[in-house]
Amino acid sequence: MIPSLSIHTPRTLAEAVEMLDGWGPDAALYAGGTELVVLLKYGLAVYEHLIDLKSLPELQSIEVEDGNASIGAVATYQDLLRHSGLRRQWGELSRMIKQQGNPRVWAAGTLGGNLSFAEPHSDPATLLISWKAELECAGAAGVRRVPVEDFIHGPLQTDLGPSEVITRIILVRQGVRSGTGFQRLSMLERPTANAAVSLGTDGNGRVQRATAVVGAVGPSATRVTDAEEIMVDTTVNELAERAEHIAVVVSESVEPLEDGHGSADYKRHLAGELTRRALLEALAKLGNSGS
Amino acid sequence: MNERFRCVGRSLARRDGEDKLTGAARYAADLQLPGMATGKLLRPPYAHARIQRINTSEAKAMPGVLAVLTAEDLGTSVPRFGPMVADQPVLAHKRVRFHGEPVAAVAAIDEATAEAALQAIEVDLEELPAVASLEAALAPGAPLVLDPAARAEDDPWRTTNVVREFRYGWGEPADMCDLVLENEYAFPAVHHYALEPPACIAAWDTNGLTVWSSIQHPFILRRVLASTLGLPFSRVRVHVPNIGGSFGGKGYPRVEPITAFLARAAGRPVKVEASVEEAFLSMRRAAARIRVRTGVDADGLIQFQEFAGDFLVGAYADVALRVVGKSAYHACGPYRTPAARIVTRAVTSNTAPSSAFRGFGAPQWCWALESQMDELAHACDLDPLEIRLRNLVSRGESLVPGDTPADGDWAEGLRRTADAIGWNTPRKPHRGRGLAVGIKNPTPATTSMALVHMHPDASVTVNAGTTEVGQGARTMFAQIASEALGVAADRIAVPNPDTAATPFDHMTASSRSTTMAGNAVLAACRNLREQLAEIASEVLGMEAEVDVEHACVVAKDGTRVAYGEAIERYFGEKQGEVIGQGAYRGERGNLPFGGPQAFWEVSFAASEIEVDSATGEVRVVRHVGGGDVGRAINPTLAVQQHDGAAIMGLGHTLFEQLEYDHDGQLLNPNLMDYRVPLCPDLPEEVECVLIENGDGPGPYGAKGLGESGTIPFAPSVGNALFEATGVRVRELPLTPERVWHALRENTQHELAKDVEFTSAPQRSGGRPADDG
Amino acid sequence: MLSQRSFALETLVNGRPYALEVGANELLLDVLRNRLGLTATKLSCGIEICGACTVLLDGRPVSACCTLAWEARGRHVETAEGLAAAGRLHPLQRAFVDHFALQCGYCTPGMLMALRALLDEEPQPTEQQIRESLKGNICRCTGYQAIIKATLAAAETMSSAGGRV
pLDDT digits (tens, 9 = 90+) for B531-565: 999 999 999 999 999 999 999 999 999 999 999 99
**Per-residue pLDDT, B23:** 96
SS3 B491: helix
Whether the pLDDT of residue A287 is over 80: the answer is: no
Whether the pLDDT of residue B332 is over 80: the answer is: yes
SS3 B660: strand
**Mean predicted confidence (pLDDT) in B237-246:** 98
Rounded CA separation A188/B535 (Å): 65
CATH number of B31-128+192-282: 3.90.1170.50
Residue A205, number of CB atoms within 10 A of its CB: 15
Residue C164, number of CB atoms within 10 A of its CB: 10
Evaluate whether B407 touches B395 at the Cβ level (below 8 Å). yes
SS3 B744: helix
**Per-residue pLDDT, B176:** 74
- Domain at A57-171: CATH architecture: 2-Layer Sandwich (3.30)
Chains in contact with B, where contact requires at least 3 CB pairs less than 8 Å apart = A, C
B51-65, B584-598, C39-53, C101-115, range with the lowest pLDDT: B584-598
Long-range contacts of A93-96 (CB under 8 A, 24+ apart): A93/A127, A93/A171, A95/A182, A96/A123, A96/A124, A96/A127, A96/A182, A96/A184
Residue C97 to residue B17, Cβ atoms within 8 A:
yes
Angle at which helix A264-288 crosses helix B736-745, to 10 degrees, equals 100
Distances (CA, A) of B271 to A74, B32, B79, C49: 40, 8, 20, 25
Q: For chain A, give the mean pLDDT.
A: 95
Angle at which helix B320-328 crosses helix B362-380, to 10 degrees, equals 30
Mutate to test the interface with C, among B27, B273, B679, B685 (most CBs of C within 10 A): B679
Closest CA relative to residue B10, chosen from B536, B638, B579, B662: B638
**Per-residue pLDDT, B2:** 53
Chains in contact with A, where contact requires at least 3 CB pairs less than 8 Å apart = B, C
- CATH top-level class for A178-284? alpha beta
* Protein fold of B446-585: Aldehyde Oxidoreductase; domain 4 (3.30.365)
| Interval C125-149: pLDDT, tens | 999 999 999 999 999 999 999 999 9
Rounded CA separation A251/A253 (Å): 6
Whether the pLDDT of residue B754 is over 70: the answer is: no
So where are chain C's domains?
6-82, 91-161
Residues 242-271 of B with CB under 8 A from C: 242-247
Residues 68-107 of C with CB under 8 A from B: 79-81, 83-84, 89, 93, 96-98, 100, 102-107
Rounded CA separation B535/B550 (Å): 17
Whether the pLDDT of residue B30 is over 70: the answer is: yes
Evaluate whether B356 touches B509 at the Cβ level (below 8 Å). yes
DSSP structural state of residue B392: B
**Per-residue pLDDT, A288:** 65
**Per-residue pLDDT, B429:** 85
| Interval B201-241: pLDDT, tens | 999 999 899 999 999 999 999 999 999 999 999 999 999 99
CATH 3.30.365.10 assigned to domain B287-443+592-757? The reply is yes
List the end-to-end C-alpha distance of chain C, in Å, as a whole number.
Answer: 36
User: Looking at per-residue confidence, does B36 or A140 come out higher?
Assistant: B36
Residue A244, number of CB atoms within 10 A of its CB: 10
Nearest-Cα distance to chain A for C16, in Å, is 23
How far from the centroid of its chain's Cα atoms is residue B71's Cα?
31
Whether the pLDDT of residue B663 is over 70: the answer is: yes
Name which of A33, A102, A103 is nearest C68 (Cβ-Cβ): A33
Evaluate whether C108 touches C102 at the Cβ level (below 8 Å). yes
Rounded CA separation A62/A86 (Å): 9
| Interval B715-753: pLDDT, tens | 999 999 999 999 999 999 999 999 999 999 986 454 444
Whether the pLDDT of residue B515 is over 70: the answer is: yes
pLDDT tier, B766 (very low <50, low <70, confident <90, very high otherwise): very low
Please report residues of C whose CB lies closer than 8 A to that of A41.
Answer: 27, 46, 66
CATH number of A6-54: 3.30.43.10
Whether the pLDDT of residue C163 is over 70: the answer is: no
SS3 A180: strand
Closest CA relative to residue A11, chosen from A42, A50, A52: A52
Q: Are strands B339-347 and B302-312 parallel, antiparallel or unpaired?
A: parallel
- Cross-strand pairs, B162: B347
Evaluate whether B183 touches B159 at the Cβ level (below 8 Å). no
DSSP structural state of residue B89: E
SS3 B525: helix
Whether the pLDDT of residue A290 is over 60: the answer is: no
DSSP structural state of residue A164: -
**Per-residue pLDDT, B768:** 28
Evaluate whether C137 touches C152 at the Cβ level (below 8 Å). no
pLDDT tier, B772 (very low <50, low <70, confident <90, very high otherwise): very low
**Mean predicted confidence (pLDDT) in A12-22:** 96
Distances (CA, A) of B483 to A156, B562, B633, B765: 64, 17, 10, 55
CATH 2.40.440.10 assigned to domain C91-161? The reply is no
**Per-residue pLDDT, B305:** 97
Rounded CA separation A25/A120 (Å): 23
Q: Which CATH superfamily hosts domain C6-82? A: Beta-grasp domain (3.10.20.30)
Whether the pLDDT of residue B458 is over 50: the answer is: yes
| Interval B176-189: pLDDT, tens | 799 999 999 999 99
Name which of C43, C81, C143 is nearest B22 (Cβ-Cβ): C81
So where are chain B's domains?
31-128+192-282, 287-443+592-757, 446-585
Could you tell me where in chain A the CATH 3.30.465.10 domains are found?
Answer: 57-171
C130 Cβ under 8 Å from any chain B Cβ: yes
List the end-to-end C-alpha distance of chain A, in Å, as a whole number.
Answer: 54
**Mean predicted confidence (pLDDT) in A98-120:** 95
| Interval B366-422: pLDDT, tens | 999 999 999 999 999 999 999 999 999 999 999 999 999 999 999 999 999 999 999
**Per-residue pLDDT, B739:** 97
Rounded CA separation B621/B749 (Å): 28
**Per-residue pLDDT, C3:** 54
Residue B96, number of CB atoms within 10 A of its CB: 27
- Sequential DSSP letters for B617-656: EEEEEEEEEEEE-S--SSHHHHHHHHHHHHHHHHIIIII-
